[in-house]
Amino acid sequence: MRAVLQRVKSARVEVDGNVVGSIGHGLLVFVGIGADDSKKDIDYIVNKTINLRIFGDEKSKFNLSLLDIGGEVLLVSQFTLFGDCRKGRRPSFSGAA
């Protein structure tokens, strides 16, 4: 499992001009699930995401987690995180679930 986290003041996902998901202050998380991933991997990523101290405190020091700030999460499936470009010039996505 692979995840890319982005701190956001707000974020939204649109499909065909319709908003299908939106959040205020929090994390935009792009997640790729591999063919061999298990519930244990999901639990690890969730725990890491909500407890990672990447938000600034009153001294602008990275000291607060998503839970500490009461932030929101927007999760976006991103199978391209499993793109394998080691062979040839076209990525393979066979490792994605």
Active site residues: 78-80
- From CA 50, how far away is CA 81, in angstroms rounded? 20
And the tokens for 39?
Answer: 């519930």
7 with 70: CB under 8 angstroms? no
- From CA 81, how far away is CA 58, in angstroms rounded? 34
Residue 90, phi then psi, degrees to nearest 5: -120, 125
